[in-house]
Amino acid sequence: MNRILVWDLPTRVFHWLLAGSFAGAFLTAESERYRDIHVVLGYTVLGLVAFRFLWGVVGTRYARFSSFPIAPRRVLQYLKSLFTRSPQHHIGHNPAGSLAIYAILALAVLAGITGYAAYNEIGGEWLAELHEGAANAMLGLVVAHIGAVIVSSLIHRENLVASMLNGYKNGRAGEGIRRKHWFVAAAVLLATAGFWAGSAGLLPEGMDIRATAAVAQHQAHGGRG
């Protein structure tokens, strides 16, 4: 077994930006004072998910959706193997983790769209409730995902958190990817930072990119309503 590169930089940057943006949006959801921050972070989640859909098609081997298809039968087989002496080991996403990833992405889109509608008073109160329900369901999945990562790390004797930080895992020669894609990762970071700076009005005059007209209008009224 060798130390091989599995997770490219764009995938890792997406993962941690999504985690941080969702956590921030969830923590500011009930605060009128930080409502604008909640909105901007919600839009950030949508933008990150849009990038992940693109990268899931054109990205590296283990980032592509084709490497972890939705397969309920494989999920059951994988879960059963965890109770045997020879649990299945996957270099990329395991079948159970793959299912969780698709569910998190779907809930992120649902929460973002319903959040936009609720913020702009489109569709009525039921959309606001659906937004809250989607966010709570996403939180539950994230907690389950963290628990699964801990259990899987113990079972397979590998630090999956460290792998998502440095990109490396143990595997056979030839199973790893060749490129980290620094340029794409830098573009994602710069786009996110620029969006945040524009939303906060920190860019030079003429470069302001407010989140949306709704956020700008909200800020114009002193953050009320």
At residue 29, the pLDDT reads 92
At residue 22's C-alpha, the angle toward residues 115 and 10, to 5°, is 115
Domains of the chain: 2-182 (1.20.950.20)
37-94 residue pLDDT tens: 999 999 999 999 999 999 999 999 999 999 999 999 999 999 999 898 889 989 999 9
pTM beyond cutoff 0.85: yes
Q: Band the pLDDT of 205: cuts 50, 70, 90.
A: low
The position carrying tokens 């994602």 is 188
The span from the CA of 29 to the CA of 12, in Å, is 26
At residue 85, the pLDDT reads 85
The answer to whether 5 and 173 are in contact (CB under 8 A) is: no
Counting residues of the chain whose pLDDT is more than 90, the rounded percentage is 73
The answer to whether 40 and 20 are in contact (CB under 8 A) is: no
5-42 residue pLDDT tens: 999 999 999 999 999 999 999 999 988 889 999 999 99
